[in-house]
């Protein structure tokens, strides 16, 4: 067993059962002209974590551990997009509309792709999901069980939406989860802070939290 120094207390794990899930590090959320920007957000906050996520990815690659990338996107015919999601907010552009990087959050379009610096390597899993949580209408649980994973490190965007939703879904399914605090972010700094506090409160009711350096130190120990 190894141990990551984390909040609210150390995260013990068996390297054989550890995997990394990098959530939605897509151009549509991170670059100007994408879906995130269409909602009026400052996307530069999310772009700033790309080098840290890259460090985390390289650490898991060196250790030969399972890496899963997710992308939030929909079918071109929008058959997996409920109206309750399509019509939310007062955006100038909605999911499926044409933006500078193609149709927003549509599979196969430029904006739905993972940013080049974090592009998946051969053998890494890329999972498209139509919802916020990575377990919603996907085979993620089957993948984790097939690979005999129990301990999960989560990174990506945004902290309070897709990352937290996935972490709570995983917790309900019996997986032990840790969020990499500096490898995730939100368009709203206060939301990130509150999310990490909620995750680690009450003795880690949802899971653990630790900076990337602590995670890499444990992998290298």
Q: What is the pLDDT of residue 89?
A: 72
Q: Which one is catalytic: 162, 176, 182, 192? A: 162
Active-site residue 162, yes or no? Answer: yes
If you ran DSSP here, which 8-state letter would residue 7 be given?
A: B
Lowest mean pLDDT among 6-10, 84-88, 203-207, 214-218: 84-88
| E strand segments, the chain | 2-4, 11-13, 18-23, 66-72, 98-99, 102-103, 125-129, 151-157, 176-185, 208-210
Active-site residue 185, yes or no? Answer: no
Who wins on pLDDT, 87 or 210?
210
pTM across the whole model: 0.97
Asked whether residue 93 carries a pLDDT value surpassing 90, the answer given is no
Encode pLDDT of 107-137 as tens digits.
Answer: 999 999 999 999 999 999 999 999 999 999 9
Q: Which one is catalytic: 28, 128, 129, 192? A: 129
Query: How is residue 218 written in tokens?
Result: 């444990």
Query: How is residue 73 written in tokens?
Result: 């996107």
The span from the CA of 98 to the CA of 7, in Å, is: 42
Active-site residue 136, yes or no? Answer: no
Q: What is the average pLDDT value for the chain, to the nearest integer?
A: 97
């Amino acid at each position: 067993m190894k141990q990551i120094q984390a909040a609210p207390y150390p995260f013990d794990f068996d390297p054989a059962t550890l995997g990394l899930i990098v959530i939605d590090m897509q151009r549509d959320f991170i670059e100007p002209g994408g879906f995130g920007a269409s909602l009026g957000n400052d996307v530069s906050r999310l772009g700033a974590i790309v080098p840290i996520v890259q460090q985390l990815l390289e650490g898991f690659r060196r250790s030969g551990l399972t890496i899963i990338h997710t992308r939030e996107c929909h079918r071109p015919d929008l058959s997996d997009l409920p109206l309750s999601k399509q019509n939310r907010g007062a955006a100038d552009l909605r999911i499926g509309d044409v933006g500078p990087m193609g149709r927003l959050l549509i599979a196969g379009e430029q904006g739905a792709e993972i940013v080049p610096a974090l592009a998946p390597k051969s053998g890494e899993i890329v999972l498209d999901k139509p919802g916020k949580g990575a377990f919603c209408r996907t085979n993620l649980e089957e993948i984790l069980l097939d690979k005999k994973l129990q301990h999960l490190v989560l990174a990506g965007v945004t902290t309070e939406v897709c990352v937290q939703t996935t972490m709570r879904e995983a917790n309900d399914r019996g997986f032990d989860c840790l969020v990499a605090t500096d490898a995730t972010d939100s368009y709203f700094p206060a939301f990130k802070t509150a999310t990490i506090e909620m995750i680690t409160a009450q003795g880690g009711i949802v899971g653990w939290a630790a900076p990337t350096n602590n995670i890499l130190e444990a992998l290298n120990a």
